[in-house]
Structure 1
Amino acid sequence: MDLGLFMMPAHPPERSLGEAHAVDLQTLAHADRMGIREAWIGEHFTQPWEPICAPDLMIAQALMQTEQIVLAPGAHILPYHHPAELAHRVAYLDHIAGGRLMLGVGSGGTPTDWTLFGIDGPGGQGRRMMWESLEIMERLWTESEPFTIEGEFWTVNQPEAILDGGMRPHIRCFQDPYPQIGIAGLSPASPTLHQAGRRGLIPLSLGLSSRYLAGHWATIQEGAEAVGRHADPARWRVGREVLVAETDAEARRLALDGMMGRMAREFLIPSYQAFGFLEFAKADPEHADADVTPEYLLDHGWLVGSPDTVAAKITELVEQIGPFGVLLANSYDYGDDQDAWDRSLTLLAEEVLPQVSGLSPSPDRGLSARAA
């Protein structure tokens, strides 16, 4: 098992964008020093609690302050971008990163973002746009001859060279043929995770309760087996709330009284209620909706406690859902108490990981690169 971060990112809505950006950069730099493998950085346009609308800009700056951590948009929401433009931005960023880049893709799930871009999310338009966009991007990264794609949503023309090659397609990814691609799923039998297995993408389960996460790997395997692929659990990423302190009592206080508890109370739980996801947060479907509080989530799913307690909770999680390769700790803005958050990451890397590293295989750390 290995460690990573999933940076939604979670910030108090009163935090300025510049201040929030600085907090995230500091967290990424500390994670890098701790040897944390990777970080996935979200993209939202109309969520003040999760305010990054350009994760590639965050990554470009973080690359200058880190040495080994692999960074990824988590995810670029493909319906909100022209695939030809985004394919070139990703390829260019891959060169800046020297291959220290992965790519997360998504179809979007924020209703106000759908409204902003005129997307019929509930009708499935976003998912159709995502798959069409990804296929266009992969062709732009791998084909050198001219072609035309006339899709449902975009028409893209790979041009012929003119002026003896003075004008021609020339931007390709640093990694051969392109960065590893991941995609997240939420629902118990997620069709997106089925496609992740089918297409060989990195599956990310940004989970609530272990009860519904247990079905994710079966869905991933089904997708892979449908096309004769082998689904490797070492590639599976699982996101959870994680906070480690010297004692259980201190960790509980920091979680419930800090940003983790505040965001659950003021934004996440009301969002689950509004959009029908509260059921996925329950450890038992018979529990009442009113039971789902930050305290309930901590007691039934969050990985919060002393190093020994968190190691035991991770072990229990693996027993419940099966082995996975990378635990993604959901990252929270503890900017007013950054030392506590940094200490949590330090304890996670130095005292928790050695106790659980043998629970499942870690993904290959090698990154293939295009020949210069």
Structure 2
Amino acid sequence: MMPSEPCPSPDLLIAQAFLKTKRIKLAPGAFMLPFHHPAELAHRISWLDHISEGRLMVGIGASGTNLDLEMFNIDHKSGAHREMTAESIAIMTRFWESEGPFEYRGKYWTVRRPADQMDKCSGYHLKPFQQPYPPIGVTGLSASSATLGLAGANGWIPISFCFTPQYLHTHWAAVERGALEAGRVAPSRDMWRVSRPFFVADTDKEAWRRSVGGEMGRYFREDYLPMLAGNNALGLLKHHPDVPDSDVTVEYVAQHCWIVGSAETVRQRIEDMQEQSGGFGVLHIMCFDHLDDLAATRDSYAALAGIVANDFA
């Protein structure tokens, strides 16, 4: 329900990308599980994994916006979308791991894997290419994210959608807590992904101009900031809780939430983020529509890759 993110079916987009590539791994970020029947989605994911020959990673989430949940008549105020997400992934992994018939009766869905028929000419057969299933990643945004606790409890990839690195360390604490409560060994920090908006240019001034004055700035100004304000969630972007909502502008988030600047500025900001978090393994880049500034965006990606390879690999 966000006009700037018109992608109701990420698997259709990824299927096209798999046709044009041979080595890169791709992932939806993410399938919103309450909006799909888990038996059907389990089959779609299995099929994608096969046509990519195991290049699929699977991002899962509980919702996009409150408008999405209202469209499906899901009571987000009671937390139903989180319950549905947990039930959905339990059903999908049951299908992928099953060796015979079963029935699952949940609060939101009841599914069955029926017995094979006609000497196995007909029956459940489509399991993922990767065994037992593709890597699963979940994203957390708020401090001490409960979603990242689920990642730790299930051995999934934790992804911090992080704008304010001041609370980034609480994300890994949530992962470790989830693993401990589930009786799992805490995962390696190498699994941990952290996502931030980036732009690298020759100078800090140029990076600021191209980010704040470009698509990154337009997206935050016209879409993301109004959406957060409408959901009373601008606090997610504040470096201190006493900052008034009226101060959270594009210029504010460029200074406090994005990582933009020269190569040296960006390198130092990444180093600061590593120190504040205690260390993480993978840097995610938040991407924006870059077609109006394609050459500069490609240069930015190349520069960032060089920074990571030379200073953090």
Question: Counterparts of 1:1-372 in structure 2 under 5 Å?
Answer: 46-226=1-181, 227-349=183-305, 351-358=306-313
Q: Where do 5+ consecutive residues of structure 2 fail to align?
A: none
Cα distance in structure 2, aligned partners of 1:259 and 1:305 = 16
TM-score for the superposition, normalised by structure 1: 0.81
Gaps of at least 5 residues in structure 1 are 1-45, 359-372
* TM-score normalised according to structure 2 size: 0.96
Q: Per-residue CA shift, 1:170-210, capped at 9, x if unaligned?
A: 10110011001011111212111111111111111111211
Q: Which runs of 4+ in 1 moved over 3 A?
A: none
Q: Quick one: distance in 1 between partners of 2:296 and 2:28?
A: 26
**In 2, Cα distance between the equivalents of 1:310 and 1:209?**
15
Q: How far 1:272 moved relative to its partner?
A: 2.0
Q: Which has the higher contact order (CA 8 A, sep 6+)?
A: 1
CA-CA distance at 1:124 after TM superposition:
0.8
| Equivalent pair of 1:205/1:239 in contact (CA under 8 Å) | yes
Hey, what's the Cα distance between the residues in 1 that align with 2:172 and 2:57? 21
How far apart are the structure 1 equivalents of 2:132 and 2:56?
13
Question: Is the CA contact 1:104–1:182 (under 8 Å) kept in the aligned structure 2?
Answer: yes
Counterpart amino acid of 2:54? G
Shift of 1:148: 1.0
In 2 relative to 1, CA 276–229 (structure 1 residues): closer, same or farther, beyond 3 Å?
farther
2: distance between equivalents of 1:284 and 1:121? Answer: 27
CA separation in 2, counterparts of 1:203 and 1:317? 16
Cα distance, 1:293 vs. partner?
A: 1.3
TM-fit CA distance, 1:287: 2.2
Aligned residues: 312
Partner AA of 2:83 in structure 1: R
Per-residue displacement from partner, 1:75-118 (whole Å, max 9, x unpaired)? 10111111111001000100111111111111104111112111
Q: Deviation at 1:213?
A: 2.1
Letter aligned with residue 267 of structure 1: D
Please state how far the C-alpha of 1:307 moved relative to its aligned partner: 1.5
